[in-house]
Structure 1
């Protein structure tokens, strides 16, 4: 499964050098992950099940500046599933092009909210995650 989340660069995204501040990419990436998840699951049902998601590592590569009034898209895919963690890969591209602005790998765990610890990605949970990898793009 792949989602494409459009974002227009606004003046408040910029730093004093006139390009998007590096910290803003965390917000763009999170917005796109929420978009990805909302297309896969009913968030209220998921959180009501006692499970949660927690980011445990983010690696971002900045490839090109993004500037006011440009439109970008964040392309999100579930790249890998391990025993207790999984990795989403996200590319930030200029909308309508293949010009790479940034790319990131975000490692997350599924948590038992009551026990406050990661759960094993096995059984039905693993099957759901595997479906996220194999579904056709939404666009």
Structure 2
């Protein structure tokens, strides 16, 4: 299941070079993930049981700088669900042209806040994440 989120580049997203700073892309990607998970009722299903989805690895390929007033489209999809982790692929592109800005594959775990460690993805959590693929 592929989900898209649109964001407009604002002045406060820019660095001294006049383009979006590399660290800001992490915020854009996170916003898109939150919207995706909220729309699919994943946040409440997981956090209601004191779990969190935690990033354990993320690799970003920067293709070109995003500039002020560009509307960006961020595609988000779960591409793999394993025993203890799952992978989310995301792409940031210029909405109007489809020109690629950046793409990433991030690895996430379900983290149990009460015991302070990741947990096996099974049962309803596996079904929930599999539904998003």
TM range (shorter): over 0.9
Look up the match of 2:132: 132
Counterpart CA distance in 1 for 2:11 and 2:112 is 39
Determine if contact 2:7/2:71 at 8 Å carries over to the other structure.
Answer: yes
Point out where structure 1 has 5 or more consecutive residues left out of the alignment: 134-139
Q: Report the count of equivalent residues.
A: 133
Please list, as runs of the form range in 1=range in 2, the aligned pairs for 1:12-23 lying within 5 A after superposition: 12-23=12-23
Q: CA RMSD in A?
A: 1.3
Counterpart CA distance in 2 for 1:96 and 1:83 is 38
Compute the displacement of 1:45 (Å): 4.6
Look up the match of 2:101: 101
Look up the match of 1:116: 116
Look up the match of 1:84: 84
Normalising to structure 2: TM-score of the pair? 0.94
Matched, 1:30 2:19: no
Look up the match of 1:61: 61
- Secondary structure of the 1:30 match is helix
C-alpha spacing 1:44/1:121, structure 2 compared with 1 (3 Å): closer
Counterpart CA distance in 1 for 2:102 and 2:114 is 36
Normalising to structure 1: TM-score of the pair? 0.90
Matched, 1:75 2:81: no
Point out where structure 2 has 5 or more consecutive residues left out of the alignment: none
Does 123-132 or 25-34 show the bigger shift? 123-132
